[in-house]
Structure formats: structure tokens, C-alpha cells
A = this chain, B = another copy of it.
Amino acid sequence: MLVSRFISRFSRNSLKHCRSLVCCQQGQLPFPSSFFNSIPSIDKVWGYRETHCSGLRAIHGIRYQVYHERSSIIEEQMDPFSLVADELSILADRLRAMVVAEVPKLASAAEYFFKMGVEGKRFRPTVLLLMATALNMAIPKSASGGVIDTLSDELRRRQQCIAEITEMIHVASLLHDDVLDDAETRRGVGSLNIVMGNKLSVLAGDFLLSRACVALASLENTEVVSLLATVVEHLVTGETMQMTTTSEQRCSMEYYLQKTYYKTASLISNSCKAIALLAGQTAEVSVMAYDYGRNLGLAYQLVDDVLDFTGTSASLGKGSLSDIRHGIVTAPILFAIEEFPQLRAVVDRGFEDPAAVDLALDYLGKSRGIQRTRELATEHANRAAAAIDSLPECDDEDVKRSRRALVDLTQMVLTRTK
């Protein structure tokens, strides 16, 4: 424990020296808007950051090893998903019960992605249930007024409710996104818009949002209701930002990161914060929970952007290339443009012609775009782990196990291949 804590403190201190890693509150950009304006060259910043990143990567490696060694000593099951498997199963049943609708077609549309086998890995609920346990420590009397000292069954039920609401908001956004994107598949099955038509997809999404709102209201916590309603707004804002870019915005890393926060990281970060708020945690701890979710979400999306180019292999062009073919410019291409400014003209002409995609892939292959995107993802994963390490110490074994699982998740996000 001491070794691990030392390493995490060291890691955190290193982070403090990294100019780009400014702590970010809810609703703010992942990077302050002045970040890219106030510095002479983005290359310099990324260069500066990379120097630190190499160190951070090494530290992350050590930390991960330490956890794993300890894990083998005390023979604990460290798979984050298996730690909450039973609870996830109850939660999945409850979700299916929550989306039962009076009209049969609406019910089958709404439950489409909650069915057995289609329900995905339940990444978000896993994170939220682990976070609930990770924060299950005594609250300082001054903060809670002495009212909430221990985690009760009632509190756990309310935190599970946040996980259910988060999943409903997530699936609602998938349904509407699939309509917007004319998507043909989702999670390996036909997307709902193809199977049941656009109209039912829009309605099923609205239905899930209304059910989420009813469930939210039952929590009787205004801050939490407001937080998760704002997430819906962020999802919409992110999607609109992606749809309505100017040439300038499409090639801006700041715009890309802001959009990514709205589209991917806001939901998990704010629901992590909601878990802390329901537990009556201090503002400081709530921000740590938020920071964990935000950085995990950003790391997840950056890796997603890489996988879209590489797929399961290490080579370019083996991924689905879905983003670039839809004209969506992501981090790897943005980094490549910094090295090869002539790529900007290719991006501006669009990617309707497959030859343009090939040309962009050529430039990307010659650049360090993929590598630098992975490095940025690693930075965010480290910051997520650092947020967990910053939580007030607690000797409870369950709490420690859940915190380790949350840190392990930051590594799994980086090493995943799909």
C-alpha cells in the first residue's frame, strides 16, 4: 500500500508540472479555452507534454505492476466487472422492468438495447457501482452534519438508480444518434432505426429520457437532477458541434476535445459526481469523482479514435475507418496535420472520394499521429488513476478493492482492442 501510495503521489506531483493538465470542473472545457491561444505553438506544448508523458507512462506501468503483485499476494479477483457482476445482473433486470411501456411497439423499441446478449459490457454501470463502494468511507462530520456516516442500503439503492438512469440516458442518445447517422448496426445487431424505423427510434429515445427524468425526480436531490439534465444538453451540444463544423473548427484540437467531452466524457464524469453527492461527500471528493470519470471518458474516446484507424491490428487502415469516411476528423489526423500541414487541404476537400481517405492514411502513417493520440489517452488515464489516489485514505478492504478496480479500468481502457 505504501509503495502504491508513494507512486501515486509522485505521479500526481508530476502531473502538477505538466502545463496541459489543468484541473477541470464540470461544464468547463477539458482544456481551458485560452490554452491554445496563449501559447506560441501547439507543437511545443505537445512536445513539452510528451516529455512528461514518457515519465508518466513508466510510472503508470509501475503502479499497475504493484497492484497486480499485491493482487496475486492476497489472491483477490481484480477483474473490475466481476467485482460487481451480481449487482449488475440485478440492475439489468431492473432496467428491463423500468422500460416496460403501455404500447407494445414502444416497449420493444425501448428495451431493444437492454435485452440479454445485446446489453453490452455495462461499462458505465460498472464504473458507477465501483465508485459507490470506493467512496464508502466515513464522511467528515463537518461536511455531512453527522447525518450520513455510513453507507446504508438505502444509499446504495439510490446510487444504483444513478447507474440505471445513466444507462437509460446513454441508450437514448444511441437511439437518436443512430437516426442521425443512418447507422445500420449497433453492438453487432441491426440498429433500431433500421429494424423499426426512424420514427420509433426517436420516440423510444424520448421515452427513455422521460423515464430517466421520472427516476431522477424520485431521488429528490435537485443538484443531481440538474447535473444529469445538463448531461443530456451536453450530449446534444456535442452531437451538434460534430454536425456543424466550419473548416477551422474541424481542424482545431481544442474544438475536438471540447466536443469529445460533451459527447463522451460528460455523462460518466457527472454521474460519478452524482454518486458522490448522493453519498453526502464533500465538494472536494465530488470533484475527484468527477475528474476520474472525465479523464476515463476522454481516454476511452481517444483510444476509440485510434481503433477506428487500426482495428485489432497495429497497422493503419485495418479499422472500420468509419469516422474519416463520415468526414469526422479525430485526434490522430489532427496530430498528423501538425507535422504535415498539407494534410489540412485534404481534410478541407472532404472524404467522399476514397482516394482522399487513402491520401490521409498515407500522411497519418508517416506521422506520429497514432502514437501521440495513444500518449494523450495515457495521460488522461493517469489523471483518472491519480484522482482515485487522491481520495481520502480508508482502510476498509471493500473500499480499497473497488479503488484498485477503478485504477485497473484506466489501464484496461488503454489496452482494449475493441
A105 at interface, CB cutoff 8 A = yes
Given A199-B243, A200-B243, A202-B176, answer yes or no on A207-B233 (Cβ-Cβ < 8 Å): yes
A233 shortest CB reach to chain B, Å: 4
Q: Which residues of the other chain, B, contact A247 by a CB distance below 8 angstroms?
A: none
Would you call B218 and A226 a contact (CB within 8 A)?
yes
A179 at interface, CB cutoff 8 A = yes
A15 shortest CB reach to chain B, Å: 28
Residues from 262 to 305 in A contacting B, C-beta threshold 8 Å = none
A210 at interface, CB cutoff 8 A = yes
A4 at interface, CB cutoff 8 A = no
In the assembled complex, 19 residue pairs joining A and B whose CB atoms fall closer than 8 Å, in A order, are: A103-B244, A176-B202, A176-B203, A179-B199, A180-B198, A180-B202, A198-B198, A203-B236, A203-B239, A206-B209, A206-B236, A207-B240, A210-B229, A213-B216, A213-B229, A214-B233, A216-B225, A217-B225, A218-B226
Query: Which 3 pairs of residues, A with B, have the shortest CB-CB distance?
Result: A213-B229, A217-B225, A210-B232
Question: In whole angstroms, how far apart are the Cα atoms of A200 and B106 in the complex?
Answer: 23
Q: Which residues of the other chain, B, contact A211 by a CB distance below 8 angstroms?
A: 233
A237 at interface, CB cutoff 8 A = yes
Q: Which residues of the other chain, B, contact A240 by a CB distance below 8 angstroms?
A: 101, 103, 105-106, 200, 203, 207
A37 at interface, CB cutoff 8 A = no
A396 at interface, CB cutoff 8 A = no
Residues from 160 to 218 in A contacting B, C-beta threshold 8 Å = 176, 179-180, 198-200, 202-203, 205-207, 209-211, 213-214, 216-218
A220 at interface, CB cutoff 8 A = yes
User: Given B103, B179, B180, B225, which contacts A213 in the complex, CB threshold below 8 Å?
Assistant: B225
A230 at interface, CB cutoff 8 A = yes
Give 11 A-B pairs besides A200-B240, A209-B209 with Cβ atoms closer than 8 angstroms. A101-B240, A105-B240, A105-B244, A106-B237, A106-B240, A203-B236, A206-B235, A210-B232, A213-B213, A214-B230, A217-B225
Q: Which residues of the other chain, B, contact A101 by a CB distance below 8 angstroms?
A: 237, 240
A222 at interface, CB cutoff 8 A = yes
Identical chains bound together, number: 2
Q: Which residues of the other chain, B, contact A217 by a CB distance below 8 angstroms?
A: 222, 225-226, 229
A130 at interface, CB cutoff 8 A = no
Question: In whole angstroms, how far apart are the Cα atoms of A235 and B210 in the complex?
Answer: 10
Question: In whole angstroms, how far apart are the Cα atoms of A362 and B357 in the complex?
Answer: 61
A75 at interface, CB cutoff 8 A = no
| Chain A interface residues toward B at CB < 8 A | 101-106, 176, 179-180, 198-200, 202-203, 205-207, 209-211, 213-214, 216-218, 220, 222, 225-226, 229-230, 232-233, 235-237, 239-241, 243-244
Would you call A226 and B244 a contact (CB within 8 A)?
no
Q: Which residues of the other chain, B, contact A202 by a CB distance below 8 angstroms?
A: 176, 179-180, 202
Would you call B103 and A237 a contact (CB within 8 A)?
yes
Question: In whole angstroms, how far apart are the Cα atoms of A259 and B348 in the complex?
Answer: 49
Would you call B232 and A209 a contact (CB within 8 A)?
yes
Residue among A180, A198, A217, A218 with the highest chain B CB neighbour number at 10 A: A217
Residue among A105, A218, A232, A236 with the highest chain B CB neighbour number at 10 A: A236
Question: In whole angstroms, how far apart are the Cα atoms of A195 and B102 in the complex?
Answer: 34
- With both beta carbons as reference points, the residue of chain B lying nearest to A104 in the complex is identified as B244
A103 shortest CB reach to chain B, Å: 5
A101 shortest CB reach to chain B, Å: 7
Q: Which residues of the other chain, B, contact A210 by a CB distance below 8 angstroms?
A: 229-230, 232-233, 236
Q: Which residues of the other chain, B, contact A218 by a CB distance below 8 angstroms?
A: 222, 226
Question: In whole angstroms, how far apart are the Cα atoms of A237 and B207 in the complex?
Answer: 8
Question: In whole angstroms, how far apart are the Cα atoms of A244 and B101 in the complex?
Answer: 14
Q: Which residues of the other chain, B, contact A220 by a CB distance below 8 angstroms?
A: 222
Q: Which residues of the other chain, B, contact A233 by a CB distance below 8 angstroms?
A: 207, 210-211, 214
Question: In whole angstroms, how far apart are the Cα atoms of A201 and B210 in the complex?
Answer: 18
Question: In whole angstroms, how far apart are the Cα atoms of A210 and B267 in the complex?
Answer: 13
Q: Which residues of the other chain, B, contact A241 by a CB distance below 8 angstroms?
A: 103
